Each structure stands twice: as structure tokens, then as C-alpha cells.
Amino acid sequence: MTGSTRSSSGLDDRRKRLLFRCWHRGTREMDLILGRFADAEISNLSDGDMAELERLIDVPDPDLYAALIGDKPLDPEYASALFDRIKAFRAVDHGA
């Protein structure tokens, strides 16, 4: 079980792939952060947001996690409004 509460039914292939990748990061902490964000927001993301999410997914888990919890800054090339949205989303208890 992935933990996802959202069905991929009705999503285009790109969104399905992103939803899956957000829930299968490699570390449980990142699965929960990105997976829950994707569950809530995947259908509302613009093409630009999806491109940015695809880039963020390529950041190694330890680096992205440290940036999301505020332990170290994210490399400027990955800093974006979408990253800020994910960070703000993580800070709110979404049934965790």
C-alpha cells in the first residue's frame, strides 16, 4: 500500500506518473510529504507546475527533505513557487 488516498482514475498519463513517483520516493518521509501533496494538488497543477515537480523529484531525498524541513537551503536552481507551496503544505497537518 502506498498510502495514497487519491485514485489515479481520470488523470492523464503525465499526472498518473507524477502521482506514482511522489508516493515512491525511496524514503517514507518523502513519500508522505510529496505523496500527500500530490494527492491533494495533482489535478490542479499547471503544465509549468508539473514540469517543476518533475525537476524536484530528481533532487536526492536527503537534500530535498533537509530543504523542506528548513535544515538547509535548496539549491537555487530548484527553488520555486511550487517548492514553497509544498513546504507550506507540509507544515499543515493533513491527517498525518
Q: Domain-by-domain residue ranges, the chain?
A: 13-91
pLDDT of residue 1: 40
Q: What is the full per-residue pLDDT of the chain (96 aa) written as tens digits?
A: 456 666 667 788 999 999 999 999 989 999 999 999 999 999 999 999 999 999 999 999 999 999 999 999 999 999 999 999 999 998 776 554
pLDDT, position 48:
96
Task: Enter the pTM of the model.
Answer: 0.85
Architecture of the structural domain at 13-91 = Orthogonal Bundle (1.10)
Question: For the range 53-61, what are the long-range contacts, defined as Cβ-Cβ under 8 Å and sequence gap of 24 or more?
Answer: 53/18, 53/22, 53/82, 54/18, 56/80, 56/82, 56/83, 56/86, 57/18, 57/21, 57/22, 57/25, 61/25, 61/26, 61/27, 61/29, 61/30
